[in-house]
A and B are shown apart, each in its own frame.
Chain A
């Protein structure tokens, strides 16, 4: 967060009348802006509202809606709804986690390329098991096919960053 000005945060705060009881809507708006809740912004929100930063962190870490880490360039939503679950979506989750070196606590790769999220139902049960990578649906997957998709993206990214150098 180099050179952060807190203009947008200030606007969010004043829309909420700097009301500490409005912490949750404030954090929601902040997250919409930054796609996650950066520490410095949470600290700024805390001091602007006159509440301890530990309180803001407590709320932000409590609700799974909030994310404390920046998300990757590619967001992989893995469906774990009933249909996909029955069709072994867990194995897809495991395979992708393993391939990307992610855990239940770490959902984004260090290079900020991928974030894995599990979702309840994508509404494409006919394609189960399905995943969505940045709004593009991929269905009827196996763990191998899912990993293959990710590998393709990785290869593409490696080339394009190679080009720049």
Chain B
């Protein structure tokens, strides 16, 4: 065994393990060096210079771009460094539109936090700011170029992790900016609305497009019945906006908050996820039987659907024709409630609360507005729900517990784990395995540990009776792209492929509370899996209200009426 390698940071001896740069070693010593352009999930860029440290014998160096070496002596807190950090922040602030009290990111903004932390109280440079038009073209995101600090985090996210490249740097020097090509607007280029760029933007330059006012207006309109549906991932993240530990499960407080806010009914998108599992699992079994359009790709992630429509039109027949749970829910609610409450569909307002920015644009797709009435009227991100709760002044963590309305508030664990990458696959397996094996496996025998895991690309081979099923679970569109290229070249073959645009799945969606803490993702994942343990049922086929829906309306999976309300179709699109 080789002996331990160590270096010294501010007189603390720190062990060098497999950190990819000095910055990570320094953080291990519990020193939180400021950074804008460093994200452990992306390539190292070294542009913001905030991570400068003094290395004895080597002078000032950016810690993010330096390999840790045995015996290095590093100082992070010299007089010179403190001065430089302040200066960098001052320079950034001089070309940033500081509108903190009215900025959507206010309170969550890294620039604001660091300026405070470094004690920057005035800016010596005059503002050379030329105001640029705010880009509100996208249904999912707003881009305020005046607040951009050119850290490039969004650019690398979109390029490296998502494989899209909708935005990039253009021009040079003091004219440099981040923009879609040819100065177009975001809605005109290949953006798939995943919102991952907004998730990493340290300032208010990119953020989910708010629909808060429209939702309040609907709630205040006495002529409307306003109902909410909550996606699985929201319940394990909203607490973060109220100083709760990441991953805290707050389902009952959310229901309570929504009722207090004035929603007439509160439903669980997981109910529709149960429905999705049954439709999609039957579709899968049917295709396997006929040997048609295998692999089957899941279709519940709208950013992935847009990505496929744009880059892989030849694979569109392979996408499951199932609508996403959000859209199934909208369609079921509008149809069933209109009938049972004798209301016009336009007098029911469905508001979904999602971890996701792409759901905002999904809800607007024309095929989801039968007879020009939208199935889902408004989509709020987790972030927006937090803002509404704060606006109303509710003391979130202290709210009394409350439970969902029936029937669309009842779900099995299968519908809940949808929020994790691998969750859809696992829920489908819970159905498919019993179908193939021709027997019930008992209510407590439901976990498929083999499809769970941290890796963003996972492959699983499963023997079920006389059948072998090969599965791939992938999150991050860049990963999906690589996988599809391998399928095209014949290098790999799968029966079922689950694709989620956001790395780790919806729990890491672009509309979730922002955080720079890399552990948050894992905490949300674990909490969502754990949350299932307290539920009575785990297999979507055991959901009695779903069964009732089949008995009274759909008759059987894939029926004509199921196709009308629960399935959709796709088309090749070319943007730009």
Contact = CB atoms under 8 A, between A and B. Distances in A.
A55 B165 contact: yes
A54 B167 contact: yes
Contact of B168 (A42, A43, A54, A63): A54
A113 interface: no
Given A39-B182, A43-B576, A55 B172 contact: no
Interface in B141-194: 159, 164-172, 179-182, 189-190
Contact of B181 (A53, A63, A64): A53
Contacts of B171: 61-62
Contact of A52 (B168, B172, B179): B168
A92 interface: no
B170 A57 contact: yes
Which among B165, B169, B180, B182 has the highest number of chain A CB atoms within 10 Å? B182
A162 interface: no
B172 A54 contact: no
A46 B164 CA distance: 12
B170 A52 contact: no
A112 interface: no
Contacts of B167: 54
B406 to A, nearest CB: 48
B170 A61 contact: yes
A53 to B, nearest CB: 4
Contact of A57 (B159, B164, B172, B181): B181
A58 B168 contact: yes
A51 interface: yes
The binding surface of chain A is classed by DSSP as: helix
Interface in A47-93: 51-58, 61-64
Contacts of B165: 51-55
A56 B181 CA distance: 8
A63 B176 CA distance: 12
A110 to B, nearest CB: 17
Given A43-B576, A57-B181, A57-B182, A52 B190 contact: yes
B166 A61 contact: no
Contact of B189 (A39, A53, A58, A62): A53
Contacts of B166: 52, 54
Contacts of A63: 172
Interface string A116-152: 0000000000000000000000000000000000000
Which among A43, A61, A63 has the highest number of chain B CB atoms within 10 Å? A61
Contacts of B168: 52, 54-55, 57-58
A53 B170 contact: no
Contacts of B170: 54, 57-58, 61-62
A43 to B, nearest CB: 6
Interface in B51-66: none
Nearest to B167: A54
A39 B183 CA distance: 11
Nearest to A61: B170
A39 B167 CA distance: 16
B481 to A, nearest CB: 10
B372 to A, nearest CB: 34
Contacts of B180: 54
Contacts of A53: 165, 181-182, 189-190, 576
A51 B168 CA distance: 12
A58 B164 contact: no
A44 to B, nearest CB: 11
A160 to B, nearest CB: 33
A54 to B, nearest CB: 4
Nearest to A58: B168
B167 to A, nearest CB: 6
A55 B155 CA distance: 10
Contacts of A54: 165-168, 170, 179-181, 189
A43 B180 CA distance: 12
Interface string A1-40: 0000000000000000000000000000000000000010
Contacts of A43: 181, 576
A157 to B, nearest CB: 29
Nearest to A43: B576
Contacts of A55: 159, 165, 168
Interface string B431-470: 0000000000000000000000000000000000000000
A65 to B, nearest CB: 12
A34 to B, nearest CB: 15
A103 to B, nearest CB: 12
Nearest to A51: B165
A62 B576 contact: no
Interface in B476-511: none
A26 B171 CA distance: 19
Contacts of A51: 165
Interface string B535-569: 00000000000000000000000000000000000
Contacts of A62: 169-172
Nearest to B159: A52
Contacts of B576: 43, 53
B425 to A, nearest CB: 30
Interface string B238-281: 00000000000000000000000000000000000000000000
Contacts of B179: 54
Contacts of A58: 168-170, 181
Which among B170, B189, B190 has the highest number of chain A CB atoms within 10 Å? B170
Contacts of B182: 39, 42, 53, 57
A64 B190 CA distance: 27
30 contacts: A39-B182, A42-B182, A43-B181, A43-B576, A46-B181, A51-B165, A52-B164, A52-B165, A52-B181, A53-B165, A53-B182, A53-B190, A54-B165, A54-B168, A54-B180, A54-B181, A54-B189, A55-B159, A56-B181, A57-B168, A57-B182, A58-B168, A58-B169, A61-B170, A61-B171, A61-B172, A62-B169, A62-B170, A63-B172, A64-B172
7 nearest CB pairs, A to B: A52-B165, A54-B168, A57-B181, A61-B170, A53-B181, A54-B181, A58-B168
Given A43-B181, A54-B179, A54-B181, 7 more contacts: A52-B181, A53-B181, A53-B576, A54-B166, A54-B180, A57-B181, A64-B172
